Amino acid sequence: MEYKIKQVADMVGVSVRTLHHYDDIGLLKPKSITTAGYRLYNEQDFERLQQILFFKELNFTLQEIKEILDNPNFDRKKALNNHKKLLIEKKKRLEKIIESVDKTIDSIQGGVYMNKKEMFQGFDEIEIDKMKNKYAKEAKEKYGDSDAYKESIKKTSKYGKDDWNKINEMNNEIYRKVIDNMDKGIDSKEVQDAVEELRNHISSNFYNCTPEIFRGLAQLYVTDERFTKNIDKFKDGLAKFLSEAMEYYCDNLE
């Protein structure tokens, strides 16, 4: 059975725009396209999409996911088993948080003392982070090692404290330029100039930031809470605004 792109988007819970992007970069190509231009997806496409979402959960870039899934040695069953382990760990964490909420309610209603350990039970993400890092490292070592990753390691290994201070200050200055012009919109010349400066900054100091990689970074800014939290320290909502501005930049490259 084959499904149109809108049906896939509704069933999976992703946007049509996201599926178009996955097609454009070769990450998820539909099985066929009708003479009218409709994308049609089959069961194998759903299986690949599931794996894409799984690796996004582990904070892989889209380029890294593509390299892994295109590798002839990719083991889908093993990847699913790892996914299951991670979900079980998350389930345990949520159950502890629910238990903490119940105890807090009881404490409020009954005046029962609640110690500090009980108050924050379940909020510890150390074990989940350990599992994510373990599976991420395993997948990178077995299935993919992008040129961008290698280039970044090679460059940054030579940086000293002064180098990092300079790089961070340049990055912060770009953020300030974006913040100063947020009221003008993502498509304003001022914002787009700052976005281009950010891309050049990454290319100069870390790796060749292709439009594809830059678009992947834009998605990370809003899908990875660590990125979001770090960027939003400069201004609430900056991560989302910057992500959209970067997407707009990539969409309008000649």
Q: Looking at residue 134, what is its pLDDT?
A: 58
Q: Looking at residue 70, what is its pLDDT?
A: 85
Identity of the residue numbered 223 = T
Write the pLDDT tens digit of every residue in 104-147.
666 676 655 445 454 445 445 555 555 556 555 555 555 444 56
Q: Looking at residue 253, what is its pLDDT?
A: 80
Identity of the residue numbered 206 = F
Domain 147-251 falls under CATH 1.10.490.50? yes
CATH fold group of domain 3-60: Multidrug-efflux Transporter Regulator; Chain: A; Domain 2 (1.10.1660)
Has residue 184 got a pLDDT over 90?
yes
Ramachandran class of 43: left when φ > 0, alpha when ψ lies in -120 to 50, beta otherwise: alpha
Alpha helices by DSSP H, the chain = 5-12, 16-24, 43-57, 62-70, 76-110, 116-119, 126-143, 147-156, 161-180, 189-205, 211-223, 225-231, 238-251
More confidently predicted of 251 and 100: 251
Q: CA 91 to CA 87: how far, in whole Å?
A: 6
Q: Looking at residue 190, what is its pLDDT?
A: 96
More confidently predicted of 246 and 77: 246
Which residue, 8, 6, 3, 25, is CA-closest to 247?
Answer: 25
Q: CA 97 to CA 124: how far, in whole Å?
A: 10
DSSP state of 184: G
More confidently predicted of 161 and 28: 28
Mean pLDDT along residues 78-83:
80
Q: Looking at residue 107, what is its pLDDT?
A: 65
Has residue 149 got a pLDDT over 50?
yes
Q: Looking at residue 109, what is its pLDDT?
A: 67
The segment with the largest mean pLDDT, out of 29-43, 97-111, 175-189, is 175-189
Confidence of residue 28 (pLDDT cuts 50, 70, 90): very high
Domain range annotation of the chain: 3-60, 76-143, 147-251
Tokens for 81, please give them: 């088993």
- 129-to-134, 220, 230 alpha-carbon distances in Å: 8, 17, 17
Phi, psi angles (nearest 5°) of residue 31: -60, -40
